[in-house]
Amino acid sequence: MLTGKHLIAGEWVAGAATFRSSPAHGAAHDYSVGTPAHVDAAVQAAEAAFWSFSALSRADRAVFLETIAAEIDARGAEITEIGTSETGLPAARLEGERGRTTGQLRLFAAHIRKGDYLDPRHDGALPDRKPLPRPNIRLIQRPIGPVAVFGASNFPLAFSTAGGDTASALAAGCPVVVKGHSAHPGTGEIVAQAVDTAIKACGLHPGVFSLIQGGKRDVGESLVQHPLIQAVGFTGSLGGGRALFDLCARRANPIPFFGELGSVNPMFLLPHALAARGAAMAAGWSGSLTMGAGQFCTNPGIAVLIDGPEAQGFIDAAKAAVAQVGPQVMLTDGIAAAYRAGRDRIASTAGVQAVLTSMCDQRNATPYLFEVSGDDWLANHALGEEVFGPLGLIVRVRDFDQMQAIARSLEGQLTCTLHMDAEDTDHARALMPVLERKAGRVLANGFPTGVEVCDAMVHGGPYPASTNFGATSVGTMSIRRWLRPVSYQNMPEALLPDGLR
């Protein structure tokens, strides 16, 4: 049962104004519009909750995370129904994403039970050391305080209300205030109901989690500028993320802003692989490029290959594969409009030629393919800017030297991919130092859509892929964003935190 209200410190709170959702199909609903006053109430409650929540044992926090997962699963049918209505995503996609969301929560429960993430260190006292004695020093990671999380438009579950940012922050011992995305407020509310039920079942302070719906720019700005917020997790556009990042940096007490801002995820198709299996690579690229209407931050939008007959064969095969993909509903009207604007920008750029065009309107997206020479790519930095949707750009380079130049010209990426055979190893080895400097994840003979949630995953990269190249928003290492090291010198055993005693 939807309330259309905010969840603030265990209470469902209405606002003076409302906004109406814009579902892809089905009935629209009214939701309260968040205000800076709602933000302040939620953050004050989060600060009050921090003292008890941060002191909670790892075992109890793990149970809390598992309880959230169970409550989300218990609402599975309801989540799928409202999620498909709001976003236009198919039921199978929503059910898979729900599994990923609950899987993340359970993964973090197991992760904090082990305790390795605390990175405890101990340098014992050396009272007889000359010329000066050494004190007894211990170190451990401690939670930083209340965290703000911004829900993503393209993942209504895995990167939103109880997604990876929220799960990792709660696992670290940090209360969370979520700014829900207005593209799927009903989905966000049902997930918030699950979290609220888990808080009550575990007997925790109600300020551990709050959800604020809707609101204009002032809500997001007041959240990141609130003096009690200690860090921000964000998944979204480069423009919106950069604006919030700048606000965090200009605060009287600057705080870290962990923004994942998108990527073109270039693929480099090396000569022997292209000659041996160009058609198969084209088919694989088509599937990855158009999956979910291309609405993935890891969508491989750029293919770089050396010009020649094999290149033309790949292009012909890609065109044939992509041409079979029909219209797909995009997440919002605004995203669909931005996709069309990006298409028009690419199509009107000097040197760009159309490979496959189509007709898309309103909230539907159809795929497009374009090609450009390496010279024209290098002459126009704007060709490396993301188009969020199923649009692919093929870059034909003269030779391997120009392929290397293309790689060096890239801005920071979430992923870079090598398609190679054993005979391409020398070329691949020459590219690797560039690609690992440009991206957080480097793949061989695969496609980057589909981010595994595991210990070794990095979902981040140099700016503008993300605002902090040392962080990841997926995988267990993401918990490090909400922790800071504290040293304890000559501290009595009874005063040490759990994990050092």
Active-site residues: which are they?
A: 260, 297
What is the Cα–Cα distance from 477 to 36, expressed in whole angstroms? 32
List the alpha helices (DSSP H) in 122-250: 164-172, 185-202, 217-225, 238-250
What is the Cα–Cα distance from 56 to 78, expressed in whole angstroms? 32
> Are the CB atoms for 272 and 426 separated by under 8 Å?
no
Q: What is the 3-state secondary structure (H, E, C) of 242-301?
A: HHHHHHHHHCCCCCCEEEECCCCCCEEECHHHHHHHHHHHHHHHHHHHHHHHHCCCCCCC
φ/ψ of 206, rounded to 5, equals -65, -20
What is the Cα–Cα distance from 39 to 190, expressed in whole angstroms? 20
Q: In the numeric block, which tokens belong to residue 216?
A: 């204009």
H or E element, residue 391: strand 391-397
Closest listed residue to residue 468, CA positions, set 284, 289, 254: 254
Residue 435, Cβ neighbours under 10 Å: how many? 21
Closest listed residue to residue 177, CA positions, set 203, 151, 146, 204: 146
Residues 6+ apart with CB under 8 A from 1: none
Inter-CA distances, 161 with 324, 357, 417, Å:
35, 37, 31
Inter-CA distances, 415 with 267, 371, 421, 448, Å:
9, 21, 20, 7
What is the Cα–Cα distance from 273 to 270, expressed in whole angstroms? 6
Q: State the DSSP code for 134.
A: B
Q: In the numeric block, which tokens belong to residue 198?
A: 């888990």
Closest listed residue to residue 345, CA positions, set 388, 383, 371: 383
Q: What are the residues facing 392 on neighbouring strands? A: 369
- 335 SS3 class: helix
What one-letter code names the amino acid at 206?
P
> Are the CB atoms for 410 and 438 separated by under 8 Å?
yes
Tokens 């997790």, residue? 233
- CA-CA-CA-CA torsion for 373, 379, 380, 381, nearest 10 degrees? 110
Q: What angle do CA 332, 160, 85 make, to 5 degrees?
A: 40
